Structure 1
């Protein structure tokens, strides 16, 4: 199904490159720009306009440009909101959700059942295993590896719809080449240093230095990564 108009009635072009394949029951919204050799699986949604209350504001269903680079694969059931960018040769897994203004680099693999919130930026050559949650505005640098079921937090106070008391959100940062084991939890504002290793099941409450090996609840340093 092609839906060129957003919820305010604004029409946008839909552009499909050469040799694009589109599965059954896919929905492609106005503003979608799909490069050549892309494969869109069954029930994929591309360019969904943001609508309703979220992140301290009400969205009106305004569409935007959504781009998918050449050779990318978007597997069945994935949903890409408006203003998402997916780089060349990247893979978006089954039932994975990319919210508004998410950027995914080239050669990156996002596995099944991921939730990537608004404004998150994921670099090149990243691997995210199934079932993880990347909170809004999270930064994931190139070559990062995230295990399954990783959880991130960007709110230190857990305050919602209370403008007089809400604090600025503070998302985590994953620096180049770091690795985070399955089931790890990162609290707000945490920075995982370059090439650092976080053990499975850890709760990370403080920044992790480059090349450090940390694990535990709370996570503590137990060594250094060997080049």
Structure 2
């Protein structure tokens, strides 16, 4: 996978944003700075922090924030100002050659994305997470560190798989559903539902 070495703006200067910076540095991608309403005018890790409204037209950006709804809002704002989404892959991630990554995706170190997978725009696969063959992600899907998505799984827009959670073969995770850390998903999860435990069950209360 070819790497674009033009300077990148990272939207979000928090934890995931700094992890995106580490991913960029490992991949040899220069970073121009962060875009964040909090701390604008200062620096983070020696890089300037500007407001998202100040993104230069034509700049490349990546949203370094885990929350899918925030990724959607920031992506729309930045693209309305002429910025272009970039995909960022750590050199220690393993991605099958026939896998498709949409614009704005972030794949961190130690991740494995298997054969014939499709990741939708602005999706994130965090460090040491795995995605099995023929799985399909909608937009803004997140797999947290150590998450294990088995083969032929469908994750709809905004779905999240928590740290060390497991989604078994062929399951369907609905839009904006959240699989809690360590959960084992043996059945389909409806849109908007939060599931926890092994086997995973809806969180009540």
Runs of 4+ with deviation above 2 angstroms: 1-4, 12-15, 33-36
- Structure showing greater relative contact order (alpha-carbon pairs closer than 8 Å, 6 or more residues apart): 2
TM-score normalised to structure 2 length? 0.59
Q: Quote the residue 1:189 is aligned against.
A: 192
Summarize the Cα distance change of 1:67–1:2 in structure 2 as closer, same or farther, 3 Å threshold.
closer
Question: Runs of 5+ in structure 1 lacking a partner?
Answer: 5-11, 16-32, 37-54, 155-170, 199-203, 210-227
**Is 1:105 aligned to 2:111, yes or no?**
no
In structure 2, C-alpha distance between the alignment counterparts of 1:34 and 1:3, rounded to whole Å: 12
Tell me by how many angstroms 1:121 deviates. 1.4
Deviation digits for residues 143-196 of structure 1, max 9, x if unmatched? 001110011223xxxxxxxxxxxxxxxx21101100012xx2211221112x33
TM-score normalised to structure 1 length? 0.54
Q: Is the 8 A contact 1:34 1:70 kept in 2?
A: no
Note the aligned Cα RMSD (angstroms): 3.4
Aligned residue runs from structure 1 range 102-181, under 5 A: 102-154=123-175, 171-181=176-186
| Matched position secondary structure for 1:185 | coil
In structure 1, C-alpha distance between the alignment counterparts of 2:181 and 2:139, rounded to whole Å: 21
Q: Is the 8 A contact 1:126 1:144 kept in 2?
A: yes
Q: Relative to total residues, which structure has the larger strand share, 1 or 2? A: 1
Summarize the Cα distance change of 1:3–1:110 in structure 2 as closer, same or farther, 3 Å threshold.
closer
Q: Quote the residue 2:13 is aligned against.
A: none
User: How many residues are aligned here?
Assistant: 142
Tell me by how many angstroms 1:64 deviates. 1.7
